[in-house]
Amino acid sequence: MTEDHAQEKANTNTIENLEEVSSDTATTHSAAADELAAKVEECTALNEKYLRLAAEFENYKRLTQRDQREQIRFGNEQLLKELLPVVDNLERAIKAAPTNGSDSALVQGVELTLKQLSGVLAKFGVQAIETAGQDFDPHSHQAVSYGPSTDVPANRVLEEFQKGYRLHDRVLRAAMVSVSSGSPQASE
């Protein structure tokens, strides 16, 4: 019986060894699965962070390009604003010139200078704002007076005191105008 007993004891030791190996393997597999799940989660989080960062960079790039286009389009705005009083003065000189023929060469020279300066301004996108008979627009007109008129309906421009100008779609200087309040009977 000793042989049987020895055999049985050896079998028991083998079964215990297998159970220990099996439990060690299960623990190892469980730890590996947990570690893999943590790495997958970390990878997913990093991928989402990368996608957000890429989207933010695209938005930044788009805004920078738009700002650059705006700078190119309106970069000379201040210079053009400074030239507008020169245009006004040349127009005033032409209006103030006597109509007799003695100074006609001088008036023609001023007219040619004004025409040339107006051409340069137009080349850079500056246009005069139309006012005569137009509806009053507070974005492009500056009302300096308000009065009745029998000829012009209410809220329309009566008279222009100073020209207004636009640079592309932006107002450089609002036109100074007088606005009609309608017929004298309606305004009373």
Angle at 176 between CA 172 and CA 181, to 5 degrees: 135
Tokens found for residue 138: 């507070």
- Look at the pTM and tell me if it is higher than 0.75: no
Contact indicator for 181, 158 with CB cutoff of 8 Å: no
Q: Which phi-psi region, left, alpha or beta, contains residue 146 (left: φ > 0; alpha: ψ -120 to 50)?
A: beta
pLDDT per residue, tens digit, the chain (188 aa), is 566 666 666 666 666 665 665 566 667 778 888 888 999 999 999 999 999 999 999 999 999 999 988 888 778 888 888 999 999 999 988 888 876 655 688 888 889 999 999 999 999 889 999 888 788 888 888 889 888 888 888 888 888 899 999 988 889 899 999 888 877 764 44
